[in-house]
Structure 1
């Protein structure tokens, strides 16, 4: 199956999914769409990466569009106001750069540098305005993106976002320690850790400013809403693991559902691949059931009042975007240069990462 035969990036190539990674149900039942702001989004995020010195100019020119970071967000947050989508896309691009910095620090054993970055990110999350001019571009760009995200909804939403991202930072610290020690977490421990390192609740939080509506706990914590949100995110995390398993085994990585299954459950590589794929497919089938429950919730919220109508509409928008997450994540893994490890000159070093961008000398 091909996605966007003319391509969403500057290179007009068709994408063919390897049979081992193909999910016909996603290709057929989860139509892919892009926010109409996408071309401008791509351009402005490219400019932002340059302005914030997150990637050198030559790397931005050669790789930024092909990494498809803006494609991923433009396929998820449909209906978002342009400025909201732009803030989310810049934050997402920052997140990928941060993930690369974290990886380089692990590879080079730079424990002190990681510890300092961890503390600085915690501080910038709580007081972004005071960190806009931080000498580390990664910290300054983070402060900029967070400050923009904090401007869309209430202080309560900002505090929730901060709480969720503090947990993400700490999960990255646990991952740093595991990788330094060569420790493979057990399956249940890994699944809990993965929900943070993949930032499940962050991407879910961002559905609300995209819909222009902050949900009360009575809606956000409804089992139906949380289940649909979790299934969409679990699909993304586990499909990423499925696509990444061979290269992560080759690279002595310790964080992958398949690696945990092999190490602690005694599965062969083939059995682990089958099990991860089974979990991915189950997320898809269970989401369609959860989606129906959320739509019934939306119907119940439409109580004849203006408030009820607006809340119901926002819930429908958010569950619709949870559905979009399946297709946008699926195609991202087959279009982004981030996953074309076989084409890299050095399989251990992404070509879009430089020593300077990774905080190295």
Structure 2
């Protein structure tokens, strides 16, 4: 299986998908789209990472484009206004940097540094404008991206986003403790934690500024809307687990569906991989069914009034964006240097990370 990547070189090259990770239904039934703003997006996010000191200049020059962070977002929120997509892409790049900082704090036993960062992120989330010049680049970069995301919709949406991300921070803290203690969560516990660490509801919240309309609770919480949203995120999280399993085993991780299945369900590694694939394939099938129900729901919202037409159109846009997530996530995992563990000098240490505790120099 091959794809022509949009992005990391001036001359696109075919990217091979290993048979163990290939999903023909994605390649055949989920066409890949890319926001036309993508070339500017890549350049501006690279510049933002440099200005905010989120990655060293040499690592940005060598690795940023190849990590394909902007490709992932440009393949997802394909209908977003340019400024919305730019804010989302910068926030997403920050998220990856934060994830790496969290990992390095665990690996190097920096519990006090992590506790300090956790507290600062909670505070910055509630008052981002007061943290734009924080001495820790991870805090300042977060504040900058949040200020921009908060500018698109209402204070109600902002409060929901904050509530959801406070939960993400706390889930990262649970991961920190689990890894420090070598605790592998059971399958059910892991799946619940994964919905938070993968930030399912954050990426779902961001569908709304991308569509240009904040959805009322009655629409957003309706099962016809919520189910395809959840399925699109579950696919992404589980496919990430499938692709990152070798990297996470090499790095002594404890958070991966495969690791939980081996540890708690008595499966061999091969059986666990097969179980994850089965879950992923069922998720895709269920999404296609839920997508149809969501489209019918959108049709029902369009009741002939101006508001009904607006809501119906926004829901259709959001559901179409959910569909984009499948192809964008799929190809990201085969194009991004983040998962090319076999090419690293040390399989447990990504070459693009900074091992320093950046905020404590």
TM-score of the aligned structures, taking structure 1 as reference length: 0.98
3-state DSSP of counterpart to 1:10: coil
Asked if residue 246 in structure 1 is aligned to residue 246 in structure 2, the reply is: yes
Q: Which runs of 5+ in 1 are unaligned?
A: none
The corresponding residue for 2:43 is 43
Change (3 A) 1:105 1:357: closer
Is the Cα contact below 8 Å between 2:165 and 2:199 reproduced in 1?
A: yes
| 2: CA distance, partners of 1:359 / 1:20 | 40
User: Is this contact kept in 2: 1:7–1:14, CA < 8 A?
Assistant: no
Contact 2:135 / 2:359 at 8 angstroms: preserved in 1?
no
Do 2:113 and 2:360's aligned partners in 1 also have CA atoms closer than 8 Å? no
1:13 aligns with 2:13: yes
- The count of residues paired between Structure 1 and Structure 2 equals 360
Aligned to 1:83: 83
Cα root mean square deviation, aligned: 1.1
Deviation for aligned residue 1:359: 5.0
Deviations 1:232-257 (A, max 9, x none): 00000000101111232232210000
Structure 2: how far apart are the matches of 1:360 and 1:332?
A: 32
Partners of 1:26 and 1:264 lie apart in 2 by 30
TM-score (norm. length: structure 2) = 0.98
1:136 is the counterpart of 2:136: yes
Within 5 A, what are the aligned runs for 1:89-104?
A: 89-104=89-104
Aligned residue runs from structure 1 range 94-243, under 5 A: 94-243=94-243
Structure 1 residue 67, shift from structure 2 partner: 0.3
Change in Cα spacing, 1:360 to 1:263, as seen in structure 2 (3 Å) is farther
Partner SS, residue 20 of structure 2? helix
For 2:167 and 2:136, the matched residues in 1 are separated by 22
- Aligned residue for 1:20, secondary structure, equals coil
CA apart distance, 1:114? 0.2
Supply the distance in 2 between the matched residues of 1:21 and 1:292 (Cα, whole angstroms): 27
Tell me if structure 2 keeps the 8 A contact 1:245–1:256: yes
State the shift of 1:358 in Å.
5.2
**Is contact 2:113–2:357 with CA below 8 Å preserved after alignment?**
no
In 2, the alpha carbon distance for the partners of 1:357 and 1:338 equals 20
Structure 2 spans left out of the alignment, 5+ residues: none
Shift of 1:180: 0.2
Aligned to 1:309: 309
